[in-house]
């Protein structure tokens, strides 16, 4: 029976460097993996267009207080990442990209950080037993379905975050905003509680952040 999350029945979907030094051998990740599922041509084309969008990942701020709130977020998240990503410049680049890609995909950036922690523990070159790659543990088949076919690019921080956030948003849409099912589908464990539980625990224990009013944006997804 699927659990009900009382304290987090609704999470924001809308919002928000190299992450690790190259290793001699890729680190092994123990996360699950997305499963290939046939999709309508219109959906595939739409996802491919999101992946191929080459606009520079730069936030635009309508008001100065929005920029101040954003910089405060970067500063606090950088401190939290200190024991995971040693280089300050790398942390800032990573966080700015997470913020941009999460906002672009209509996802909560704190949720994305929580997912990265569970999937790869912030290891840029992580590979799972199933073959998922990089920070958000993206399966290589996605590069053939909606990308350029170059799976090695999944070890690029920016490329991996683009794929990961686009895929997660797609799963939210498929599951009609159901957080539990969307996370399970992302992990290849749809309907089982262990993975969503781990993401929400990471969110609660490490990545909870008081969103400033100027940073809030859109309706929350349904959970349960």
Q: Please compute the mean of the pLDDT values over residues 166-190 and round it to a whole number.
A: 95
State CA 132 to chain mean position distance.
14
86, with CB counted inside 10 A (0-12, 13-18, 19+), is: exposed
How many domains would you assign to the chain? 1
Query: Is 29 inside any structural domain?
Result: no
Burial track 180-219 (b if 16+ CB lie within 10 A, e otherwise): bbbbbbbbbbbeeeebbebbbebbeeebebebeebbeeee
Q: Is 178 part of a structural domain of the chain?
A: yes
- Residue closest to 95 by CA, chosen among 37, 28, 158: 158
Question: What would the pLDDT profile of 106-128 be if each residue is shown by its tens digit?
Answer: 999 999 999 999 999 999 999 99
Asked whether residue 21 is domain-assigned, the answer is no
Q: Report the percentage of the chain scoring pLDDT > 90.
A: 71
Q: How far apart are CA 52 and CA 49, in angstroms?
A: 5
Q: How confident is the model at residue 215 (pLDDT cuts 50, 70, 90)?
A: low
- The answer, yes or no, to whether residue 130 has pLDDT greater than 80, is yes
What CATH number did the domain enclosing 70 receive? 1.10.530.10
Residue 134's domain comprises: 57-213
Mean of the per-residue pLDDT values of the chain: 84
| Residue 177, in any domain of the structure | yes
pLDDT of res. 54 = 85
pLDDT score of 33 more than 90: no
What are the structure tokens assigned to 123, written together? 């290891």
Q: What is the pTM of this model?
A: 0.82
Q: Is 34 left (phi over 0), alpha (psi -120 to 50) or beta?
A: beta
In a domain, 97, yes or no: yes
* pLDDT for residue 156: 97
What pLDDT shows up at residue 29? Answer: 53
The answer to the question of residue 75 being in a domain is: yes
Is 221 inside any structural domain? no
Position 71 in a domain:
yes
Is the pLDDT at 8 greater than 90, yes or no? no
Question: For position 4, what pLDDT does the model report?
Answer: 37
- Please report which confidence band the pLDDT of residue 212 belongs to, taking 50, 70 and 90 as the band edges: low
Mean pLDDT computed over 118-140: 95
In this structure, the number of other CB atoms found within 10 A of the CB of residue 4 comes to 9
Summarised one tens digit per residue, pLDDT across range 37-93 is 999 999 999 999 999 998 887 888 999 999 999 999 999 999 999 888 879 999 999
């Amino acid at each position: 029976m699927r659990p009900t999350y009382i304290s987090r029945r609704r999470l924001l979907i809308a919002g928000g460097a190299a992450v690790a030094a190259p290793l001699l051998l890729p680190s092994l990740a123990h996360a699950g993996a997305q499963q290939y599922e046939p999709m309508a041509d219109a959906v595939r084309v739409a996802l491919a267009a999101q992946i191929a969008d080459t606009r520079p990942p730069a936030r635009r701020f309508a008001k100065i207080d929005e920029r101040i709130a954003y910089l405060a977020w970067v500063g606090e998240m950088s401190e939290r990442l200190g024991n995971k990503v040693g280089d300050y410049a790398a942390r800032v680049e990573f966080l700015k990209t997470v913020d941009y890609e999460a906002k672009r995909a209509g996802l909560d950036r704190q949720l994305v950080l929580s997912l990265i922690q569970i999937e790869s523990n912030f290891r840029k070159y992580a590979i799972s037993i199933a073959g998922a790659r990089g920070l958000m543990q993206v399966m290589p088949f996605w590069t053939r379905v909606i990308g350029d076919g170059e799976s090695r690019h999944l070890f690029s921080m920016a490329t991996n975050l683009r794929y990961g956030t686009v895929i997660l948003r797609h799963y939210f849409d498929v599951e009609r905003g159901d957080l539990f099912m969307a996370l399970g589908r992302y992990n290849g464990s749809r309907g089982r509680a262990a993975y969503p539980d781990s993401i929400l625990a990471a969110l609660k224990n490490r990545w909870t952040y008081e969103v400033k009013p100027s940073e809030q944006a859109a309706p929350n997804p349904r959970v349960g």
